[in-house]
Amino acid sequence: MDLGVEGMWKRAQELMPGGVNSPVRSFRSVGGKPFFVDRGQGPFLFDTEGRRYIDYVLSWGALILGHAHASVVEALNRQVRLGTSYGTPTPGEVELAERLVRMVPSVDMVRLVNSGTEATMSALRLARAVTNREYVLKFSGGYHGHSDSFLVSSGSGVATLSLPDSPGVPKSTAALTLVLPFNNIDLLRELFKNNGSQISSVFVEPVMGNSGLILPEEGFLDELRALTTEHGSLLVFDEVMTGFRVARGGAEERFGVKPDLVTLGKVIGGGLPVGAFGGSRELMEKIAPAGDVYQAGTLSGNPLATAAGNAQLAYLQENDPFADLESAAKNLSSGIVEILKGGGISAWGTSVGSMWGIFFTDSPVRSFEEAKATDQENFTKFHKACLRKGVFFAPSAFEAGFVSTEHTEEIIDETLEVVRVVVSEGW
């Protein structure tokens, strides 16, 4: 029964909360309603009415090779005929673990899970167990999935006990999470001076990709490393988004700061559900059944997901596309900012590896607080105008943009031409 897009959207909202299975897809942040996708190919999405979009969301960063890459499709075709999940050890998960250990400098041992949320939730349990401490520090605007301890917002003052950021999160849980502004070394030093001995771990997106794109200022990650070492807290890099995107070995390779644990997701699944957390053998052997910190998952490391993840990572290992990805993201973000400014619109942009971001403001954005002060109305108009002309940017000012190996110079040029037209037509 063909419901048509209107009918499909109506039915979706009757069947699923907000019509979606993850809030950001609902377009509520930019207004209007989402399109339904029929298929993806390379840098493109095609909606159910046949419209083509150049896609800069790329399944929120997972598809670094673009949509339906031949190597991923081939690996899935091969595996699916052999079964989708066995609930037993498989060669594919050994291969994926091997690749992660080889590509991520701080990882000697890894546990595969099904999402970034599971990865960070499990890494926090491990950090609390090995330090025998309950407090955890995160940064405002940092997103680490939706487990209770991370769904908190900073209290009234800075680093006061946090408040739940969602109904259903117990106050007692939220109170164990401390929140500081990103890139503020003074407040970091003060917190550790006063409470360092109580902090199990610090979870940080080493490059913030859930507040728009915000880079760490010189010395910030080094200071985080020094303070956590001094006070016996674990430093956890949440690289679910930055992994394999800001560099081949992630942010720890790019910035030369080695965390105690790292959480991964997105790229390592090639578009299928795979997350992971890893670190030294000493730490990871505390995880059941080697150790007594419990963690489990029916579909963790399943052969279909590891087939896609292995295919995508194998391509990255064998072709080393990182320089091209970096220049594509840089050309895109600087090109957009130049066009906007040429049209008299305040804009500031940045990129790192294959991630990029723009804010509608005329000064650098160094924290979530500053990101929130940028011009959201202009972002919304820009997003809608570009979407109408077939360019799909993330439907929220607080998301990072991505590029893939399929975003060639021609695709970037075509995108910048759309931005030129949108600015010249005015919104």
384 is catalytic: no
Q: Does 88 bind ligand KE4 (CB under 6 A)?
A: no
User: Cα angle at 244 between 239 and 248, to 5 degrees?
Assistant: 125
Q: Does 90 bind ligand KE4 (CB under 6 A)?
A: no
How many Cβ atoms from other residues are within 10 Å of residue 389's Cβ?
15
Q: Which residue has the tokens 């897809």?
A: 25
Near ligand KE4 in 244-273, by CB under 6 A: 265
Measured from the CB atom, is 210 or 331 closer to ligand KE4?
Answer: 210
Pick the stretch among 6-14, 112-120, 180-188, 288-296 that binds ligand KE4 (CB under 6 A): 112-120
Tell me the C-alpha to C-alpha distance, in Å, between residue 23 and each of 13, 28, 38, 69, 361.
Answer: 12, 8, 20, 27, 26
Pick the stretch among 73-81, 141-149, 298-306, 330-338 that binds ligand KE4 (CB under 6 A): 141-149
Give the residues across from 91 on adjacent strands. Answer: none
Rounded-to-integer distance, Cα 110 and Cα 333, Å: 34
Q: Which of 261, 251, 256 is nearest to 222 (CA)?
A: 256
330 is catalytic: no
Pick the stretch among 33-41, 211-219, 238-246, 327-335 that binds ligand KE4 (CB under 6 A): 238-246
Set 266, 315, 330, 381: catalytic member: 266
Q: Does 120 bind ligand KE4 (CB under 6 A)?
A: yes
Q: Does 148 bind ligand KE4 (CB under 6 A)?
A: no
DSSP-based three-state secondary structure for 47: strand
DSSP-based three-state secondary structure for 204: strand
Tell me the C-alpha to C-alpha distance, in Å, between residue 255 and each of 221, 232, 249.
Answer: 8, 22, 10
Q: Does 20 bind ligand KE4 (CB under 6 A)?
A: no
Rounded-to-integer distance, Cα 25 and Cα 33, Å: 9
Set 53, 56, 135, 143: catalytic member: 143
Q: Single out the residue of 241, 262, 403, 416 in contact with ligand KE4 (rule: CB under 6 A).
A: 241
250: left (phi over 0), alpha (psi -120 to 50) or beta: left
Q: CB 422 → ligand KE4: shortest distance, Å? A: 24
Which parts of this chain interact with ligand KE4 (CB under 6 A)? Answer: 22, 24, 60, 115-117, 120, 143-145, 205, 209-210, 238, 240-241, 265, 275, 399
Cite the active site residues. 143, 238, 266
